[in-house]
Amino acid sequence: ENRPIPEPGPDEVLLRMHSVGICGSDVHYWQNGRIGDFVVKEPMVLGHEASGTVVKVGSGVTHLKPGDRVAIEPGVPREMDEFCKTGRYNLSPTIFFCATPPDDGNLCRYYKHSASYCYKLPDNVTFEEGALIEPLSVGIHACRRAGVTLGSKVFVSGSGPIGLVNVLVAKMMGASAVVVTDLSASRLQKAKEVGADVTIQVKNESPREVASKVETLLGCMPEITVECTGVQACIQAGIYATRSGGTLVLVGLGPEMVTVPIVNAAVREVDIRGIFRYCNTWPVAIALLASKRINVKPLVTHRFPLEKALEAFETTRRGEGIKVMLKCDPTDQNP
């Protein structure tokens, strides 16, 4: 609250923040102080799923003006390296990323950001939808990496926010059937709401038993599995479930070392792919939201003012609802 309002550089804009979603990674940094090699060593502002209003533009900025409503892409390359040149800037080792140590996030009243990574929102796209473009982008990037196309049969493992955006995007990209697994009946009900064709509540089945259930309910083995939990048993089930010649995309992140039936995948030519965040997704996501071809509104289950951030983080930590949204602008009542 007492931080000075930053001054934008020539290629930056100053934003009055509006909506910021809480991600599992934000909670993880708050609770554990690290994710893998990224360690919090000094105070850090959280938040990377965000939208706001431009209040000031740098001298070199021409595509935005004060008053513009924008969605913020949190990852900004610091240099034009080989990854940027090939369009995979998310892999740039020196990238700035909101709320990844040591870079501050945007869960605050005012925030400055590279203007090139702020995208103007059409009038019919709300601030809240703008903030949800970040998790939606994970689904877009994962389904692109998976090769989802017309008629694909897709297995999504995990029905949290990231599992749900993968359901939305897979259906949007032409999947004819999507089956979702989770431990939680309420989360699976939400998966049904956003378009899942079949849901399976996992209790204590073995990975092979889960795979068998997926095949039975789909009527065949899925060509594509999108694993969104990072849990070892779920990754194992993902390999067993995927059709020979198919693709398994690992989205969820768990322990560094996991035991998986790699020979099963190898001899059946199941391609295992990873994803790291996303790239080149904001324009696509905005077009989908503006045309109403995709609806992310059901994902938001809780809303808190910035003053109640701790309560919001506790709600997320307890796994209540799906997406918790913080409102940073007390003067604006629009969602």
**Residue 135 located in a structural domain:** no
- Same domain as 256, residue 191: yes
- Same domain as 165, residue 111: no
Domains of the chain: total? 2
In percent, how much of the chain has pLDDT > 90? 95
Q: Are the C-beta atoms of residues 120 and 283 closer than 8 Å to each other? A: no
**Domain that includes residue 82, residue range:** 12-120+296-327
DSSP code of residue 167: H
**pLDDT < 50: residue spans in the chain:** 335
In this prediction, residue 333 carries a pLDDT of 56
CATH code, domain carrying 161: 3.40.50.720
- Same domain as 314, residue 212: no
Per-residue pLDDT tens for 119-166?
Answer: 999 999 999 999 999 999 999 999 999 999 999 999 999 999 999 999
Per-residue pLDDT tens for 209-255?
Answer: 999 999 999 999 999 999 999 999 999 999 999 999 999 999 998 99
Q: Are the C-beta atoms of residues 259 and 93 closer than 8 Å to each other? A: no
In this prediction, residue 306 carries a pLDDT of 95
- Same domain as 267, residue 159: yes
**Residue 215 located in a structural domain:** yes
In this prediction, residue 329 carries a pLDDT of 82
CATH code, domain carrying 300: 3.90.180.10
Give me the residue label for tokens 């909506």.
Answer: 19
Residue 28, C-beta contacts closer than 8 angstroms, at least 6 positions apart: 35
**Residue 176 located in a structural domain:** yes
**Residue 290 located in a structural domain:** no
Q: Are the C-beta atoms of residues 270 and 222 closer than 8 Å to each other? A: no
One-letter amino acid identity for 146? A
- Same domain as 37, residue 106: yes
- Same domain as 168, residue 72: no
- Same domain as 228, residue 160: yes
Q: Are the C-beta atoms of residues 120 and 284 closer than 8 Å to each other? A: no
Q: pTM of the full predicted structure?
A: 0.96
**Residue 30 located in a structural domain:** yes
- Same domain as 300, residue 252: no
- Same domain as 181, residue 105: no
- Same domain as 257, residue 148: yes
Q: Are the C-beta atoms of residues 128 and 300 closer than 8 Å to each other? A: yes
CA–CA separation, 230 and 14 (whole Å): 36
Element (H, E) at 200: strand 198-201
Report helix, strand or coil for 236.
helix
- Same domain as 111, residue 41: yes
- Same domain as 185, residue 112: no
**Residue 81 located in a structural domain:** yes
In this prediction, residue 182 carries a pLDDT of 98
